[in-house]
């Protein structure tokens, strides 16, 4: 679908200074290569290695710093937690590069950003240990957010149906969706150190990820079913709250996206990293080095 009409102020909201509403950014504030982190405190854990920081801002949980690392201009941004925040962040980033904010018209020549998530996650497989890295080949959304968009052009319907059948997925929770990562970025960031597979994205932290405190689960066996799911040689490696939403929106909007996770917990073994900060620091160093090259 082509949109060539002026976008109404109620749909594309700008701040008085002309910046995009939630992110508090103008087009000149962001680089072509963007790193996502969930935690706003993790932004400076990355930018501390920069040669210089040219711009910094924060509004709510969305903290952004843009600077250079070994001569490469990079933006680091905290998204907060969950697919709903990803919906805000990616749509507003796309607006910064692909909509003329003065005329409110989509641009004729579109820009594709490189979006790389540096996250933490829990492994669902006993053989993927804590402190290892996972590259998400596929994002499997359990959260429904992307279903508000027309996603047929980017979704893997065969994988979705196989997952629904394997898990006897309750249709009352909405239809799952599956989208693949950018092949370009996958080739750029893969290594022998990386486990690869399907990353499941949940819409919450407790019941949506099989955790029980004082409320019963709709399907107490779902995590076990997910552990045993395989499609086209890919297992579900880990479970978190952002990847599928990032992949789906990026694919729809024409951006390249990749999600990298430091595994800090192993749900199958019930273990947690003795030093999760070290694993994250190592993944940061690995990612920055790949971007700079």
Count of Cβ atoms closer than 10 Å to residue 161 Cβ: 15
Residues 225-236 pLDDT 10s = 999 999 999 999
Cα dihedral: 72, 45, 82, 291 (round 10): 20
Strands 72-78 and 105-106: unpaired
Return the domain boundaries, the chain.
Answer: 27-292
CATH 3.40.50.1580 fits 27-292, yes or no: yes
Spatial separation of the C-alpha atoms in residues 114 and 94, rounded to whole Å: 11
Do 279 and 273 form a contact (C-beta atoms < 8 A)?
Answer: yes
Q: Give the pLDDT of residue 3.
A: 58
CA angle 279, 284, 287 (to 5 degrees): 125
List per-residue pLDDT tens for the chain, 293 residues long: 455 689 999 999 999 999 999 999 999 999 999 999 999 999 999 999 999 999 999 999 999 999 999 999 999 999 999 999 999 999 999 999 999 999 999 999 999 999 999 998 888 888 998 999 999 999 999 999 999 999 999 999 999 999 999 999 999 999 999 999 999 999 999 988 799 999 999 999 999 999 999 999 999 999 999 999 999 999 999 889 999 999 999 999 999 999 999 999 888 888 898 888 899 999 999 999 999 98
Spatial separation of the C-alpha atoms in residues 168 and 163, rounded to whole Å: 8
CA angle 68, 88, 13 (to 5 degrees): 100
Do 82 and 209 form a contact (C-beta atoms < 8 A)?
Answer: no
CA angle 37, 42, 45 (to 5 degrees): 125
Count of Cβ atoms closer than 10 Å to residue 162 Cβ: 16
Residues 114-169 pLDDT 10s = 999 999 888 888 899 899 999 999 999 999 999 999 999 999 999 999 999 999 99
Three-state secondary structure string covering the chain: CCCCCCCCCCCCCECCCCCECCCCCCHHHCCCEEEEECCHHHHHHHHCCCCEEEEEEEECCEEEEEEEECCEEEEEEECCCCHHHHHHHHHHHHHHHHEECCCCEECCCCCCCEEEEEEEEEECCCCCCCCCEEEEEEEEECCCHHHHCCCCCCCCHHHHHHHHHHHCCCHHHCCCEEEECCHHHHHHHCCCCEEEEEEEECCCCCHHHCCCCCCCCCCCCHHHHHHCCEECCEEEEEEECCHHHHHHHHHHHCCEEEEEEEEEEECCCCEECCCHHHHHHHHHHHHHHHHHC
Spatial separation of the C-alpha atoms in residues 261 and 268, rounded to whole Å: 17
Q: How far is CA 220 from the centre of its chain?
A: 26
């Amino acid at each position: 679908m082509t949109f060539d009409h002026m976008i109404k102020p109620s749909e594309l909201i700008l701040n008085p200074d002309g910046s995009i509403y939630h992110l508090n950014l103008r087009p000149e504030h962001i680089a072509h290569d963007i790193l996502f982190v969930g935690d706003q405190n993790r932004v400076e854990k990355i930018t501390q290695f920069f040669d210089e920081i040219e711009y910094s801002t924060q509004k709510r949980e969305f903290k952004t710093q843009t600077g250079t690392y070994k001569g490469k201009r990079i933006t680091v941004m905290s998204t907060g937690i969950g697919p709903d925040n990803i919906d805000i962040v990616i749509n507003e980033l796309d607006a910064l590069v692909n909509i003329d904010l003065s005329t409110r018209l989509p641009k004729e020549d579109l820009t594709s950003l490189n979006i790389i998530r540096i996250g933490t996650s829990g492994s669902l497989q006993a053989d993927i240990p804590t402190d290892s890295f996972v590259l998400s080949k596929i994002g499997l959304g359990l959260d429904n957010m992307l279903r508000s968009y027309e996603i047929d052009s980017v979704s893997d319907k065969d994988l979705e149906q196989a997952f629904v059948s394997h898990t006897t997925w309750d249709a009352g929770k909405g239809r799952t969706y599956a989208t693949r990562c950018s092949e370009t970025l996958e080739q750029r960031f893969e290594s022998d150190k990386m486990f690869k597979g399907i990353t499941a994205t949940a819409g919450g932290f407790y019941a949506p990820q099989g955790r029980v405190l004082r409320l019963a689960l709709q399907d107490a066996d779902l995590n076990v079913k997910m552990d045993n799911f395989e499609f086209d040689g890919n297992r579900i490696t880990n479970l978190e709250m952002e990847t599928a939403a990032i992949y789906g929106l990026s694919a729809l909007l024409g951006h390249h996206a990749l999600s990298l996770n430091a595994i800090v917990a192993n749900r199958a073994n019930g273990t947690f990293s003795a030093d999760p900060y070290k694993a994250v620091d190592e993944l940061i160093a690995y990612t920055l080095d790949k971007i700079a090259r």
